[in-house]
Amino acid sequence: MSKLYYTTTFLFFFFFSFFFFFFFYCLAHTQTPHEPLAYSYLLTCSKMKPSSDIMYWYKMPLGNGSGLILVVTAVKVGKASVEAAFQSHFTSSDIQGDGMTLSTEGAFLNDSGIYYCAESETQWVG
Domain boundary assignment for the chain: 1-30, 41-120
> Is this prediction's pTM over 0.85?
no
32 pLDDT higher than 80: no
Q: For 54-63, what is each residue's pLDDT tens digit?
A: 999 999 988 7
Look at residue 36 in the predicted model and tell me its pLDDT: 55
Look at residue 95 in the predicted model and tell me its pLDDT: 86
Quote the CA–CA distance of 60 and 102 in Å, as a whole number: 15
Look at residue 82 in the predicted model and tell me its pLDDT: 94
Quote the CA–CA distance of 28 and 70 in Å, as a whole number: 32
Q: For 63-119, what is each residue's pLDDT tens digit?
A: 766 789 999 999 888 889 999 999 988 999 998 888 899 998 877 778 888 899 999
Look at residue 97 in the predicted model and tell me its pLDDT: 82
CATH number for the domain whose boundaries are 41-120: 2.60.40.10
Q: Tell me the mean pLDDT in the region 13-38.
A: 46
Look at residue 64 in the predicted model and tell me its pLDDT: 64
